Each structure stands twice: as structure tokens, then as C-alpha cells.
Amino acid sequence: MYRGTFAIVDERAIRHNVAAFKQKLSDSTRLLIAVKANGYGHGAVEVAQAALGAGATDLGVASIEEALQLRRAGIAAPILVLGVVSPTAARTAAKWQIAVTLGDDWSEYSVPQFEPPLHVHIKIDTGMSRLGFKTLDEVLPVVRWINSRPDVVWSGIFTHLATADAADYSRTKVQIARFEQILAGLKAQGFVLPLVHAANSAGILRDPNWHYDMVRLGISTYGCPPSREMDVPVSLWPTLHLYSFITRVATIDRGEGVSYGASFVADRPTKVATVPVGYADGYPRALSNRAHVVIHGQKARVIGKVCMDQLMVDVTEIDDVHPGDCVTLYGRYAPEGWRQSVMESLPESEHKDWLIRTFRNYSGKNLLPLDDVAKIGHTISYELMCALSLRVPRIYVKN
Ligand SMILES: *Cc1c(COP(=O)(O)O)cnc(C)c1O
């Protein structure tokens, strides 16, 4: 690790969060963990393994490619592709025993024979207006078509909630009522329902009646509340922590500009630290002149535009700031011992072990919440997590 910018993924926190939600469910309710988008940026395989170890039963992804990544890593748990898949692409899904979402009537297509049988979950659009069938009349021919196919198994039926995390979630109640109506209609036609599921993180917390046979936990696996508009009566531990080491400290005169466009101009002599993290790493440009980082336990404001690979912070008020000092971009404040010089005194092969060991033994609880940084950047925790670029090494703290 030569650049000194890295993320810690705390698998202990992932396991804690999953177990905490598991406790909210009845014993028979299955717990799917959404690991799409590389496990919300954390690393899909690592998150999947940690979550399954903590009581999760199923995994949710956005594409067959993401599902294959898990299968190739040897993960055998049920996987559901939450986005829609074409009949020809589904051949691969069947081969690897990956369940797919059916949001379109396939009876009009030329559908290949599936070997082994393809597992499908029917998607109902109850108000998200994104994917799925809207009425019982649309669903019935699909169910009949599935039942006419010996190589297709009806494994699930589900909907997705659009406003469960909002202060006013009355639309969610309408969504659930529509879902119930379709489920009742299917039962009235004599169909035995497969796995029924509806709730995302927010839905799980809002109402246990929405848990049905399985819930789909995403953002709160990763330690964030679904939104700021709801109480989260579960203790969530932060899972993602981003750090870097200062590369330069310099003092500029009053009137001098910082970064592209000189959007920050010093109104006094200002001590500026340069940090090798930028928007290409997933630290959004929208944080320019708005966010702060933490150095030696103190806040330092981001000044000037965030560049592609670097950013500058004002450290005028912080004593003893030097190149090689550790910067917390979000997550738990870095342990005081984290200095580049300490790392460089170790053989390269021991960098990771040293970081893991010191992070694990560090008792500091102070936090620069990822969720707060997201808000300052006019976005949400989900997007900030997914933005973490693949060039940022992830260091996994397993136990
Ligand atoms: C991503 C996703 C989830 C998880 O949502 P969170 O808000 O992150 O809990 C659940 N269901 C579907 C269909 C999804 O795409």
C-alpha cells in the first residue's frame, strides 16, 4: 500500500448489524441481505460471508454478473437477482441455481428449456412504478404460464416499498394494501403462495406485519439508518471507515487561492494540508468547501474544490500536523498511532496486519458518521458507500 489511502471494512460490525435485525424477526422469517453494487461498496463476497455467518439466509443482487461473482466464490446460499432478466440470460441463472425476478410476461417470448429448473420470483408494482405487474389480471397469466412449465419453479412473489423510510409513510400503507389484494386474489384462485416478501430496511423497522416470509435488509446491514426521518430502535455499528495520510503541509498567505478555480481564498495566513483522496476515490466533489475531515481527533474543513485524486484541508487551528499524519474521511477517528512513518518502518507485507491489529485494539468510539458526510454532500449514505472506488484498498477486520 504505497499511496496510504485505504478503507477499513469491519466485518464484526456487519455481523452485529445482521444479528441485531435477525432478533427482530420471527424464527421462520428468512433474512435476505442486499449485496448488490459490490455489497454497497464494501465487497460483495466478504459481506455475504459475514452476513451468512450471522444468520442471514439469502442474498440479493442486481444482475446475473453479481450473482455469478458470489457463486464463483463458492457461496451456495439462495441468491435472487432483484433486477429483471431476459429469458436467454436466465439460462445462465438456471445453470448456477440463481433465482430471477419476473417483471414481464414471458409467455410471448421464445423461452429456452431450463436445466436445472429456473426459480422465479414474481415482482408486483404496488406504487414504486419501477418494475412489476400492477394487477391481478396481469399476474394470473404469468402464474399459469409458470405452472405450465415443468422447468420453471414459482419460488416467490414480492413488492418493493418506496416511502417506508419517510416521516409520512401513508403511501407505504397503500402499497401494502395493494399487495395484499393481489395475494388474496391469487389465493382465491386456488394458488398456494410461494415465498412472500416486501420489506427493505425501513419496512422491517416500521411494521412486523410487513415481514411476511422473508425480509430484504440492505442499508442497515452497513450500519446506517434508512433515513433521518425514522427512529431506528436497533444499535447499528458503522462498517465502513475511510482513511488517508497527509502528503504535504504548507502555509499560504491571506489572498491566496486553494485548488481549481480558487473557490477558497484565504482571509488570513492559512495552514493547508493535502490529502491524497479525491472524487475518483469516491469522496464527492460536492463536499468541496463544505465537509470536514478529522486529524488528531480535531475537525479540519475541506477547502477549495475536491480534485480527482487529492483534496486540501485547513489545519491552521491544529498543532503538530505533519506529512504522514492520518486523516479520517469518515468512520471511526483514526487511532493516534496511525502514522505513515510507522507503517513504513514495517515490511510491506505487515501493513495490513498492523492496521487490522491497531484498529481492533483501539477503543476510541468517536465517529465521523458516513451518513453525516453524505448529507453534507447532498446525497445519501447508499450513494456515498457505492461511490467508494475499486482503487481504494479495502482492509477487512474479520474478528
Ligand atoms: C436494494 C434493495 C433492497 C434493500 O433496500 P435498503 O433500503 O438498502 O434496505 C430491498 N429490496 C430491493 C428490491 C432492493 O433493490
Q: What pLDDT, on the 0 to 100 scale, is given for residue 258?
A: 98
- Report whether pLDDT(92) > 80: yes
Q: pLDDT (tens digit, 9 = 90+) per residue, 221-279?
A: 999 999 999 989 999 999 999 999 999 999 999 999 999 999 999 999 999 999 999 99
> DSSP code of 359?
H
Active-site choice (22, 36, 271, 305): 36
For residue 116, cis peptide bond before it (omega within 30 degrees of 0): yes
Note the pLDDT of residue 363.
79
pLDDT, residue 364, reads 80
pLDDT digits (tens, 9 = 90+) for 360-390: 998 788 999 999 999 999 999 999 999 999 9
Distance 151 CA to ligand 1 centre (A): 28
Residue 226: per-residue pLDDT:
95
Q: Measured from the CB, is residue 80 less than 6 Å from ligand 1? A: no
Q: What pLDDT band is residue 30 in, cutting at 50, 70 and 90?
A: very high
Q: How confident is the model at residue 177 (pLDDT cuts 50, 70, 90)?
A: very high
Is 36 one of the catalytic residues?
yes
- The pLDDT value given to residue 231: 87
Q: Pairing relation of β-strands 6-10 and 118-124?
A: unpaired
Contact 132, 103 (CB under 8 A): yes
Task: Identify the H or E element spanning 331.
Answer: strand 326-332
What are the grid coordinates assigned to 125, written together? 408494482
Q: Write down the catalytic residue from 24, 123, 134, 260.
A: 260
pLDDT for the residue numbered 105: 93
**Tens of pLDDT, residues 145-155:** 999 999 999 99
- The helix/strand/coil state of 8 is strand
User: What number is the average pLDDT over the span 61-67?
Assistant: 98
Indicate whether 167 pLDDT > 80.
yes
Question: Pocket of ligand 1, candidates 18, 40, 58, 82: which has the most ligand atoms within 8 Å of its Cβ, to mutate?
Answer: 82
Q: How far apart (Å, rounded) are the C-alpha atoms in residues 7 and 10?
A: 10
Does this model's pTM top 0.95? yes
> With a 6 A CB cut-off, is 200 part of the ligand 1 pocket?
yes
In which band, very low, low, confident or very high, does the pLDDT at 1 lie, cut at 50, 70 and 90?
Answer: confident
Q: What spacing in Å lies between the alpha carbon of 89 and ligand 1's midpoint?
A: 22
Whether residue 216 has its Cβ less than 6 Å from ligand 1: yes
Which atom of ligand 1 lies closest to the CA of 62? 15
What secondary structure does DSSP assign to 210-256, as a single string? Answer: G-TTEEEE-GGGGT--S-TTS---S-----EEEEEE--EEEEE-TT-
Confidence of residue 2 (pLDDT cuts 50, 70, 90): confident
Residue 173 falls in the annotated catalytic set: no
Residue 34 CA to ligand 1 centre (angstroms): 6
Residue 284 has pLDDT above 80, yes or no: yes
- Measure 5 CA to ligand 1 centroid, in angstroms: 29
Contacts of 173 (CB under 8 A, 6+ apart): none
Residue 315 has pLDDT above 90, yes or no: yes
Average pLDDT over residues 17-39: 98
Secondary structure, 3-state, 129-191: CCCCECCHHHHHHHHHHHHHCCCEEEEEEEECCCCCCCCCCHHHHHHHHHHHHHHHHHHHCCC
